[in-house]
Amino acid sequence: MGEAMARNLLKSGKFNRVVVYNRTAGKCIPLVAEGAVAAESPADAIQQCDVVFGMLADPEAAVKVVFQKDGVLEAITAGKAYVDMSTVDPATCQRIAEAVTSKGGRFLEAPVGGSKQPAIDGQLLILAAGDESLFQECKTAFDIMGKRSFYLGQVGAGARMKLIINMIMGSMMGAFSEGMALADKAGLKQEELLEVLSLGVTGNGLISIKGPSILKHSYPPAFPLKHQQKDMRLALALGDEVSQPLPVAAAANEAYKAAKAMGHADDDMAAIYEAIKK
């Protein structure tokens, strides 16, 4: 997703320079060939840019990029800004925000709604919180990367909103997979179930996009299952924090864990079906 987002910034022609960094250096090669400048480290990216956007896989990676040797904190100063667009828990957001602002930098969290294709198409939903003036300054970039951006208030609000959205999506995928499995075992054609669903109130993008993968038992990753399970886990922890029971999400999380154990961690989240259909 980060590669697609950077590519859209580069293609827009609205910025004098687009600097890119990846923990796996080879992943920057296509963007450099298209005109981007490769940074040697997160600190180098901060030194070269006024605003740096981070897009990392999980809380551990998000923290490491900030606090590691040659990380964001080594170079952040007054006049520099860091915008973390990763999906992490509110506590991680707060930790990074406090570290960045303690060095005089500015911070915004901006997790996104959407996966690989919306990132390619510049159709992400951006859920920002933190420095409101920085949000306004980033609007040009956000408008290139996404179809709409929201300012939600203090640091942590973006993370909470994103976790809730992904929890709902993950729970829906679990229920949909159960329905597809039940239809198959009840002697019905799954193709016909998909058509009926598409014509009623249950018709939605999740079913229309993920249904064909289930029919083919083929799960090229748009949103890897391991990341969906991570978000379910973080959402359940948020529920514990605020004393909100989440029995449906908890059950779905167990199915994602089972699918991971079956070897589907790097497949698309729709591979939860393989754990449910047994």
Q: Does 218 share its domain with 192?
A: yes
Q: What is the mean pLDDT of residues 172-192?
A: 98
Q: Does 178 share its domain with 233?
A: yes
pLDDT at 115 over 90: no
Q: Are 157 and 129 in contact (CB under 8 A)?
A: yes
**Residue 169, SS3 per DSSP:** helix
pLDDT, position 116: 86
Q: Does 120 share its domain with 220?
A: no
Q: Please list the alpha-helical segments (H only) found in the chain.
A: 2-12, 29-33, 42-48, 59-67, 72-75, 90-102, 116-121, 132-137, 139-145, 157-185, 190-199, 205-216, 225-241, 247-259, 272-276
Q: Which amino acid is at 211?
A: G
Q: Does 9 share its domain with 144?
A: yes
Q: How many domains does the chain have?
A: 2
Q: Which amino acid is at 185?
A: K
Tens of pLDDT, residues 51-109:
999 999 899 999 999 999 999 999 999 999 999 999 899 999 999 999 999 999 999 99
How large a percentage of the chain has pLDDT more than 70?
100
Tens of pLDDT, residues 147-176:
999 999 999 999 999 999 999 999 999 999
- Could you confirm whether 162 is annotated as catalytic? yes
pLDDT, position 224: 95
Q: What is the mean pLDDT of residues 5-16?
A: 94
d(CA 195, CA 130): 43
pLDDT, position 114: 85
Q: In this structure, what CATH number is given to the domain that contains residue 271? A: 1.10.1040.10
Q: pTM here?
A: 0.88
Give the pairing of strands 106-109 and 124-130: antiparallel
d(CA 276, CA 252): 10
Angle of helix 205-216 relative to helix 157-185, nearest 10 degrees, comes to 50
First to last CA, the chain: 32
Domain boundary among 95, 121, 154: 154
Tens of pLDDT, residues 203-241:
899 999 999 999 999 999 999 999 999 999 999 999 999
Query: Is the alpha carbon torsion for 185, 186, 190, 194 positive or negative?
Result: negative
Q: Which one has a higher pLDDT value, 114 or 196? A: 196
- Residue 213 CB partners (closer than 8 Å, separation 6+): 219, 220, 268, 270, 271
Out of 103, 116, 162, 278, the active site residue is 162
Q: Does 166 share its domain with 256?
A: yes
CB atoms within 10 A of CB 48: 15
Q: Are 66 and 80 in contact (CB under 8 A)?
A: no
Partner residues linked to 53 by β-bridges: 83
Q: Are 63 and 41 in contact (CB under 8 A)?
A: no
pLDDT, position 278: 81
Q: Does 172 share its domain with 56?
A: no
